[in-house]
Amino acid sequence: MKQRYHPLRLVIFTAMVMTLVLAQNSLILASNRPEGFDNVTDNMGQSTDSTGDTDVTKLDLSGDTPQSDDAGSTMERNIQLIYDGAEVHFPDAKPFIDENSRVQVPVRFMAETLNFDVKWGASSGQKSIILTKDNVNVDLKIDDKVAVVNGTQIDMDTSAMILHERTYVPLRFLSELAGMDIMWGSAGDTITLSHKETQDNNSDEQTQTQPAQPSDTYIMSAPRATVQQAKEWARAKSATDVFIDLADIVWDEAPKAGVDPVVVYCQFAKETGFGKFGGILDETFMNPAGLKTPIGGSDTDHVAHQRFSSWQEGVQAQIDHLALYAGAPDYPKAYTSDPRHFPGLMGQAVTVEALGGTWAINPTYGVEIVKMMMELEAISS
């Protein structure tokens, strides 16, 4: 007698066979799956979260979008700040290097350590910080690379910013405005900030008690020679035609500021090799005295030096910078082509000799200019 299967048993048997086939196919697919495939979903989720966090941090830093690795590394560097020989301790908000490679410090440091008066302002809905010290008034808008110093707009290559509800300001820009020196230590993460050494800390008292020495060659003076003498001297030195012709502008503009044009012209000669240049700058900069941009930088970096739109502008900037160093009346000026017209430089060097170690690092810089002046003055008029 032929055995007959119950319909229910047949359904159960078929289901079991299909289950075994599906399980076998799953094992085959798993064996052919690329390595790490199981973690793709988790990794993608983690990457999305991390990128989101990094983007927020980048926006807090400057409103731009730098490489996340760079932003993270600058935030983690431990910047040590030495001020007048002592280390500055930051209890909470700490200095860091922003995406523009500039050191940012808490605005609280500027107020408590450097004695800046700090106020908040707002214009057209944009927050700003107003810092005042002595005769320096600086208006910094958050995330704006244009500062207003004593009414004059100055371009910066970074900006004040708010990070984690703390306000930060660029250290170099403000310290130089206050007439301070800033330098990196050999360790790379140590910054030394100190007051510039001025030769006339008690200038009024010294002026009253000590007569001027024969070697004092004052920057502020009536012309010691004529423009004709200057041109003859330049020709004798094989100067360029441009350098010779610019004597006219120097002799026209320098006396208006009370600066001896001989000082201006001889400094021009020293800085440019009588108009031949040959260093990192060339004639297209129209920069007669090697003046740097407001931000400054290395002496060997041409980008750190100001490029003027005309020789008239460049010569006027040099004259204004010399007048500022000499402490001329009505200086610092509200409007000037001098890119580094920092009030802290006022009266740093009354004499040409004193330009050594102040205007330039070389201590004999001013003496060398004086020697050139003597040569020029010796030319027969």
| CATH at 179 | 3.30.457.10
Do 233 and 169 share a structural domain?
no
Asked whether residue 13 is domain-assigned, the answer is no
Any bridge partners for residue 106, and if so which?
168
Q: Which two tokens stand for residue 277?
A: 């240049």
Asked whether residue 3 is domain-assigned, the answer is no
User: Could you tell me if 362 and 339 are in contact, meaning their C-beta atoms sit under 8 angstroms apart?
Assistant: no
For the ranges 126-130, 132-136, 217-221, 235-239, the lowest mean pLDDT is seen at 132-136
- Say which residue, 268 or 25, is predicted with more confidence: 268
Do 110 and 47 share a structural domain?
no
pLDDT at 315: 97
- Say which residue, 169 or 279, is predicted with more confidence: 169
Do 95 and 70 share a structural domain?
no
Do 255 and 178 share a structural domain?
no
Where does a domain end: 47, 74, 101? 74
Do 172 and 114 share a structural domain?
yes
Do 255 and 361 share a structural domain?
yes
pLDDT > 90 in the chain, percent: 37
Model pTM score: 0.53
Where does a domain end: 128, 160, 195? 195
For every residue of 35-90, DSSP letters joined together read: TTGGGHHHHHHHHHHHHHHHHHHHHHHHSS---HHHHHHHHH---EEEETTEEPP-
Residue 357's CATH number: 1.10.530.10
Do 159 and 233 share a structural domain?
no
Do 229 and 82 share a structural domain?
no
Do 142 and 216 share a structural domain?
no
Report the chain's mean pLDDT, rounded to a whole number: 76
Do 61 and 83 share a structural domain?
no
Do 369 and 230 share a structural domain?
yes
Do 188 and 223 share a structural domain?
no
Has residue 75 got a pLDDT over 90? no
pLDDT at 49: 30
Look at the chain and report how many structural domains it folds into: 3
270-293: per-residue pLDDT in tens? 999 999 998 889 999 999 999 999
Asked whether residue 10 is domain-assigned, the answer is no
User: Could you tell me if 98 and 158 are in contact, meaning their C-beta atoms sit under 8 angstroms apart?
Assistant: yes
Alpha helical stretches, state H, the chain: 7-32, 40-62, 68-76, 107-112, 171-177, 203-209, 227-236, 241-245, 247-257, 261-272, 311-326, 365-377
Where does a domain end: 167, 195, 223? 195
Report the residue count for the chain: 381
User: Could you tell me if 263 and 219 are in contact, meaning their C-beta atoms sit under 8 angstroms apart?
Assistant: yes
**Host domain of residue 251:** 207-377
